[in-house]
Amino acid sequence: MATFPPGQIVITRNALNSLEQTDVDAGLARHLRGDWGDVDEEDRRTNDQSLKHGARLLSVYHAANGTKFWIITEADRSATTILLPSDY
């Protein structure tokens, strides 16, 4: 069950070409549950506070092929973007 609304879900072309759909789906499910993945403790605390105060959310995951990817939900919850760090 999602802990916040994702808004429109989008993925960059680079991420689409580099990630398997199963990795994207698993990462998105974790992100929406509030499992922030491989972020450090400070970012984890920031995300937890962002849930309460409506700020941006950032999660970090690794695909089965080792590719690191991010999922970012905007502060206004209008959109969630799946991207590679190089896309930022």
Average pLDDT per consecutive 10 residues, the chain (88 residues; last block may be shorter): 91 98 98 96 96 95 98 97 96
- Residue 1 domain-assigned? no
Model pTM score: 0.95
* CA-based nearest residue to 19, from 59, 62, 78: 62
Answer yes or no: is 29 within a domain.
yes
Residue 36 lies in a domain: yes
Instruction: Round to the nearest angstrom and report the end-to-end CA distance of the chain.
Output: 28
Query: Where does the chain show beta strands of DSSP type E?
Result: 8-11, 57-62, 68-73, 79-83
Distance of CA 58 to the CA centre of its chain: 5
pLDDT at 59: 98
**Amino acid at residue number 42:** E
pLDDT of residue 69: 98
The residue segments making up the domain with residue 41 are 8-87
State how many domains the chain has: 1
Question: Is the residue at 68 inside a domain?
Answer: yes
Residue 88 is predicted with a pLDDT of 87
CA atoms within 13 A on the CB side of 27: 30
